Amino acid sequence: MTSTQTMEPGAPAPTSSLGERVRWILDDLKDEYLQPHASPWIVGFSGGKDSTLLAQLVLEMIVDLPPRLRLRPVHIVANDTLVESPVLARHLDAVLGRMAAAVTPLRVPVTVAKTVPLADQTFWVNLIGRGYPSPSRMFRWCTDRMKILPTTQYIKEQVDAAGRAILLLGVRRAESSTRAGSVNRYDNGARLNPHNSLVGCEVYKPIVDLTTDEVWQILLQSRPPWGGTHRDLVTLYRNAAGGECPLVTDKLEAPSCGTNSSRFGCWTCTVVEKDRSAEAFIDAGYGDLEPLLAFRDYLKAVREDGSKRMAARRDGSLNFVGEGRLIPGPFTFEARAEILDRLLALQEEVDFPIITEREIETIKEIWANDLRSQKGSAGGAA
């Protein structure tokens, strides 16, 4: 069987037992892994239930192979926006740490990695440095800079090194009607589908037909190959009253981040009207999140305050909509300074890192350049 074929003829019927369906997924993973080429696998890992199950099945399949057949390199890749909910960030780091520690004893060709935004493209550098207004549905600048670019850069490096790479995603049709539409829209009927925007990258969705209940059933009845249990994951979902924001590698998938449904992800997310997931965590006893939620609400409110925004955009243009209504540009210098002061006070209050010294230095460099540019424009106009 070639990579462009699927195992559909042997696929279990919808009435098959869950055990049979899991065995079919493992066989499909094995068949693809043993194809006669060395294209690396990149497993997208968000720390949520679906990507956790996918990583578990991939490792179980490889461990079950004879060592001489464990040749295909596998990368388990997570993304850290640097403004993740502290609860999720701690969980993600703990799981990635256990995975990394298990690689050598398991004798598997697995690399565990975490991508982060470029130093000059972090949330605080863009919001406080460049004055970008807090993200909204109309201007969702965060997903591309903080999620898509760092992860796609990692994928491109693997493609450049090997000529081709296969991205494994834990997406499922049953996750939502939107997800089902996305899966169907880019499904060519084969096991591997070309990535929408990454040349040389193909996408493989091994658990696409599992239901949410089946995902939980498998996780609750098994232990991860990297050790420990899934108890913390269950607790995370129970306390968050929602799901995770998944790893994103395509702008067409961006709406999965900041939807009306309750998802835990960036604590700074102002795309949603209310952060119900953070509220649920606080109700569950995570009191240290309360100051963060209040600051998030402040970021949303200050975005709507026209007195805190410049008239022109950063390129000097004016943005009008409708009957001549002006859409304000970036935050004023005074507003940016106010946000930074409040953020530093918040960091002192919660007593854990929120913004780095390097980010502060980058912010001040951008301020200095903007002020020089502004003075130069004024001088030229005079």
The type of residue at 16 is S
User: Do strands 74-79 and 41-44 pair parallel, antiparallel, or not at all (unpaired)?
Assistant: parallel
pLDDT at position 13, please? 59
CA dist 354 and 347 (Å) reads: 6
Environment class of 215 (CB within 10 Å of its CB; exposed 0-12, middle 13-18, buried 19+): buried
Phi/psi of residue 168, nearest 5 degrees: -100, 125
Residue owning tokens 């042997």:
10
DSSP conformation letters of 279-299:
HHHHHTT-GGGHHHHHHHHHH
pLDDT at position 278, please? 86
The type of residue at 352 is F
Question: For the chain, how many residues are written?
Answer: 382
pLDDT at position 212, please? 94
pLDDT at position 58, please? 98
pLDDT at position 2, please? 45
Report the candidate in 328, 358, 327, 342 with the shortest Cα–Cα distance to residue 268.
342
- The tokens for 203 are 């996408």
Q: pLDDT digit of tens for each residue in the chain (382 aa)?
A: 444 444 444 566 566 899 999 999 999 999 999 999 999 999 999 999 999 999 999 999 999 999 999 999 999 999 999 999 999 999 999 999 999 999 999 999 999 999 999 999 999 999 999 999 999 988 899 999 999 999 999 999 999 999 999 999 999 987 755 555 556 555 667 899 999 999 999 999 999 999 999 999 999 999 999 999 999 999 888 887 655 565 566 665 554 455 544 456 899 999 988 888 888 888 888 888 999 999 999 999 999 999 999 987 887 777 777 676 778 889 999 999 999 999 999 999 999 999 999 999 999 999 999 988 877 665 555 4
CA dist 69 and 210 (Å) reads: 28
State whether residue 243 is helix, strand or coil.
strand
State whether residue 79 is helix, strand or coil.
strand
State whether residue 269 is helix, strand or coil.
coil
The type of residue at 180 is A
Those residues whose C-beta lies under 8 Å from the C-beta of residue 30, and which sit 6 or more positions away, are: 61, 64, 65
pLDDT at position 257, please? 56
Q: What is the CATH number of domain 18-287?
A: 3.40.50.620
Q: Where in the chain is the domain with CATH 3.40.50.620?
A: 18-287
Residue owning tokens 């919001």:
127
